């Protein structure tokens, strides 16, 4: 499975909610739990364009114009998480959703 499809699969739990872009604490929690899954299943070898395209794979390409700014913002956050995970000696999301940070 490609990195993009792994990312899309992991992000679906966040993006299926109509309020995914709201910055509400519940939605932010869903995003970080989804990122734990991205790191656990897709690792850290993926690009910003793969992440963006994975979002559009889930929400639909027809919504690109409406959500482009939000997608860009969350992609920026995801890239910082990915970069941090790349250099961190002990991965922040090493245990997926059962780790100390990501709670169900």
pLDDT tens digits in sequence order for the chain, 104 residues long: 799 999 999 999 999 999 999 999 999 999 999 999 999 999 999 999 999 999 999 999 999 999 999 999 999 999 999 999 988 776 566 665 554 444 44
| Residue 103, pLDDT score | 45
Q: How many helices (H) and strands (E) does the chain have?
A: 4, 0
| Residue 18, pLDDT score | 95
- Angle at which helices 64-87 and 48-59 cross, to 10°: 140
How many Cα atoms occupy the beta-carbon half-sphere of 35 within 13 Å? 23
Distance of CA 83 to the CA centre of its chain: 13
């Amino acid at each position: 499975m490609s990195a993009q499809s792994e990312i899309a699969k992991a992000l679906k739990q966040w993006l299926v909610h109509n309020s995914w872009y709201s910055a509400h604490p519940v939605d932010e929690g869903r995003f970080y739990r989804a990122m734990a899954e991205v790191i656990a299943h897709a690792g850290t070898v993926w690009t910003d364009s793969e992440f963006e395209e994975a979002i559009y794979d889930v929400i639909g390409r027809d919504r690109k114009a409406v959500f482009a700014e939000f997608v860009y913002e969350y992609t920026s956050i995801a890239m910082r998480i990915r970069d941090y995970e790349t250099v961190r000696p002990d991965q922040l999301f090493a245990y997926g959703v059962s780790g100390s940070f990501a709670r169900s």
